[in-house]
Chain A
């Protein structure tokens, strides 16, 4: 697997995985008759199956789920499926791994391919036996006739017409196994490579070692907007074992060790002269900046009734303005890639969410045709939406080309905090109107900068105006786990709490009175019951509060109740308990889903309480874990997760939406205890000291 593969190589390689089966795949992106089964599945000589997916494993669990999907429909134990992921020479382009799309899109695709394969293999057996295929049963990879004759997948792998059979197109309408008959899906199948993760044997992108490989470092500007005027590379070159490269704005160094590469970088950095482009926005002036630069005229608004009229005639009108700081993904493994050239062909092992997107980026940056670039994404060390780009891959490829040797580039934590894109900051303006009986009759919601995820209201309100407004982001921003949904849900669920208080209603009752979405009602009622909402609400003291919030996004629903304890003299908010109910349809892998929900809850605590990128004059001021606090063991409250299964809807992803409920529930709990409304994430307890 050293170089890009020709189509013949691909076949040879896949055969070498275990079969004598010849397959023909010519164009992974455009088959006239639909995608052939063989683009996704290979039957190996021993009856095992090689399944292919363009998705990336970064801890969220697609390796298990896609293997389960193939095993379920092929009727084989999951151990007999070997899943090859994210290698542009071997797998179909399944798009970038993002947006909770693997479960609703790629799992069904895999199931359809596997179900079609099972039908074709059954048909082959039926033809040999001259019986009706409908009379044959498949179990554990064995096809059985009514008279008791059997044929295994291993037998069929040797049949001469099997290649033609699996070369047929996946049937879009093939019958899939109903949820109640699932044997492999719905089970807590662990990751097939879990053993390699506990022994240190797994090679993450930053662990890949190639013969003669060098380590690379890249010269970074001192601030955003700074451009390089001059740099003296002679001292780096004089080190003897260092390759120094300047290609336009790119300056980098490759050396036999990262220690030497860093020494070369530091020597050159001292000589660099930069043209600064001063930026006046800092985290202190951020929200004013977002507000002033909001492109309100270009807003895409969703309107129902007339919010404006209803606000004029409402009995009471409330306004609220909410803020969400920039935060970083901070995956444990920073961006990393190894690039290796072989003639004019390039192979890159990269930690990124989109192998085919990276292939395109590399092709453009290096000026070589796409088909000469192979990108492989080994299971990587976290992403959370932060690795849609492939900067390290391009940097490694430039250095490797100049050095004539493979080069590994791994960003430092400081580079990751400074130069990786961040989650968008948000300024959200709300107006709401209540009628005399305390019902919500008007809702105006203007969300500046975070984007439209979960911007709509799930509550039944007759007059609504909801707008997503772009602005000028002073920092590079991009995707993040559930993206703008966290900001929009924070504002909406906090403001709902304000309205409930104004209406003199219990926050749970107020929501339920306006909530028609039965799935959302179900999780809200579930968490309230499990938490003991009604009783604990009555026990609120100035030092101990409870709050709740709910929300829906990406076809899943979530609700959380929290308890906070407050030390007002110290301005300290401690979350002591979170009870969260989550529903995303039928559950594909309960243990993995539980990990994802627990993970979302703890990650949510960071954005809710402590995480904030501080910046001024184009510089990130806290680019270190010692100055940017992410949740640690001792920050974890009692966490009580209730996975609600709903078999009446198709499966949806579960790795994002569970993050959106905690922050507003905490703010609401603080309000319940103190009457102080915190409207900025992270929620700072200092305000409690003053009140």
Chain B
């Protein structure tokens, strides 16, 4: 059974005709070639597949694509404005908070989502907020620093 699902991705209106039960992760990667969103576990445990749906974090490996009908999806590819990186991306670069980089898309979107809820988190709040995300190179120490830096950059942007 195929159905046409219409939704916005990174600001663009898209429509995909497919099995409505197919996971959003696969649709993003295989139909829309947005490969920045990663498969890591298929059970919502690792966070590599995190995207924002209407601004809220969602594990795209668990989400049937029908659920995003009419909604707006943001992937890692949608964060930068042209050549200008988002402050969270800048912070990850400046802190060197990535090694292989496979978990990085999910980490950055999770950090953004956390900072929207808590603009000035403590290290404990960062760890709690990011605990659903796995990094195996184990950049956790530098990722926490990057989230802290991102918070400062975003505050400066708001007040600047």
List chain A positions with a Cβ less than 8 A from chain B.
58-61, 188, 190-191, 194-195, 197-204, 206-207, 209, 215, 257-259, 329-334, 379-382, 384, 410, 412-414, 591-592, 595, 598-603, 624-626, 630-634, 636, 639
Contact = CB atoms under 8 A, between A and B. Distances in A.
Closest 9 CB pairs of A and B: A200-B36, A59-B100, A381-B102, A197-B101, A59-B99, A200-B76, A207-B35, A602-B138, A599-B138
B111 to A, nearest CB: 11
B9 to A, nearest CB: 13
Contacts of A600: 138
Given A332-B40, A625-B41, A199 B96 contact: no
Given A197-B101, A199-B89, A200-B77, A206 B136 contact: no
A634 B127 contact: yes
A331 B48 CA distance: 12
Given A199-B79, A413-B42, A603-B136, A595 B96 contact: yes
Contacts of B131: 632-634
A194 B136 CA distance: 17
Interface stretch (B18-26, B52-60, B151-159): B18-26
Contacts of A190: 93, 96
Contacts of B99: 59-61, 382, 595, 599
Given A200-B37, A332-B134, A599-B137, A625 B43 contact: yes
A276 B62 CA distance: 33
Give the interface size class of chain B. Answer: 35 or more
A188 B35 contact: no
A596 to B, nearest CB: 8
Interface string B83-109: 001000100110010111111110010
Given A332-B135, A599-B137, A58 B100 contact: yes
Contacts of B108: 198
Interface centre among A195, A198, A199 (most CB of B within 10 A): A198
A412 B61 CA distance: 12
13 contacts: A199-B80, A200-B35, A200-B37, A201-B77, A203-B35, A257-B18, A258-B30, A332-B40, A382-B100, A382-B102, A410-B39, A413-B41, A633-B140
Nearest to B90: A198
A194 B98 contact: yes
Given A200-B76, A330-B136, 16 more contacts: A198-B85, A207-B35, A215-B30, A259-B19, A332-B40, A332-B135, A414-B42, A598-B138, A598-B139, A599-B99, A599-B137, A599-B138, A624-B45, A626-B45, A633-B130, A633-B133
Nearest to A213: B30
A414 B143 CA distance: 27
A626 B43 CA distance: 8
Given A332-B38, A625-B41, A630-B134, A636 B101 contact: no
Contacts of A624: 41, 43, 45
Nearest to A601: B138
Contacts of B37: 200
A203 B77 CA distance: 13
Given A197-B101, A197-B104, A634-B127, A625 B139 contact: no
Nearest to B106: A332
A203 B37 CA distance: 11
Contacts of A384: 136
A624 B108 CA distance: 24
B116 interface: no
B73 interface: no
Interface string B49-76: 0000000000000000000000000011
Contacts of A201: 36, 77
Contacts of A631: 138, 140
B99 to A, nearest CB: 4
Contact of B77 (A58, A188, A199, A379): A199
Most chain B Cβ neighbours within 10 Å, of A207, A334, A384: A207
Nearest to A599: B138
Contacts of B128: 633-634
Contacts of B92: 198
Contact of B42 (A191, A194, A330, A412): A412
B115 interface: no
Given A200-B36, A381-B101, A639 B141 contact: yes
A630 B133 CA distance: 11
Contacts of A61: 99
B14 interface: no
A630 B136 contact: yes
Contacts of A332: 38, 40, 46, 48, 100, 102-103, 134-137
A609 B136 CA distance: 16
Nearest to B75: A200
A636 B41 contact: no
Nearest to B37: A200
A624 B135 CA distance: 15
B12 to A, nearest CB: 15
A192 to B, nearest CB: 12
A206 B96 contact: no
A414 B41 CA distance: 8
Given A209-B33, A259-B26, A633-B131, A197 B98 contact: yes
Contacts of B134: 332, 625, 630, 632
B118 interface: no
A206 B39 contact: yes
B142 A595 contact: yes
Contact of B139 (A195, A198, A599, A626): A599
A602 B140 contact: yes
B160 to A, nearest CB: 21
Contacts of B144: 633, 636
A109 B151 CA distance: 43
A199 B36 contact: yes
Contacts of A636: 127, 140-141, 144
Contacts of B80: 199
A253 B136 CA distance: 30
Interface string B1-31: 0000000000000000011001100100111
A382 to B, nearest CB: 5
B89 A633 contact: no
Nearest to A194: B93
| Most chain A beta carbons < 10 A, residue from B19, B126, B141 | B141
Contacts of B29: 207
B103 to A, nearest CB: 5
Contacts of B142: 595, 598
Contact of A333 (B38, B43, B127): B38
A15 to B, nearest CB: 29
Nearest to B103: A332
Interface centre among B41, B46, B105 (most CB of A within 10 A): B41
A197 B98 CA distance: 8
A633 B126 contact: yes
Nearest to B141: A598
B26 A257 contact: yes
B104 to A, nearest CB: 5
A191 B104 CA distance: 14
